[in-house]
Amino acid sequence: MNVVFQVASNEDFIITFENNYMRSILQFLDSSIEDEARTAIGYFVRQHSDNTDVPQIEL
């Protein structure tokens, strides 16, 4: 991701993307971000479950 921002912000580069190529890049970045988010959420949920598992008292 850093590389994309460095190239995009460098005034010495002029880059022309075709719509399909740009769409492919954005889909790749979106899928990577979604995968990382799913992993992080799964970790958080497991951690939260481990921290809140309290024996239930039957009344």
Residues 6+ apart with CB under 8 A from 36: none
pTM confidence score: 0.36
Q: Which residue's structure tokens are 């979106």?
A: 30
Q: Which two tokens stand for residue 43?
A: 């970790």
Model confidence at 23: pLDDT above 60: yes
When pLDDT is cut at 50, 70 and 90, the band that residue 43 belongs to is confident
Our CA angle for 32, 36, 40, nearest 5°, is 170
Instruction: Tell me the Ramachandran region of residue 18: left when phi exceeds 0, alpha when psi lies from -120 to 50, beta otherwise.
Output: beta
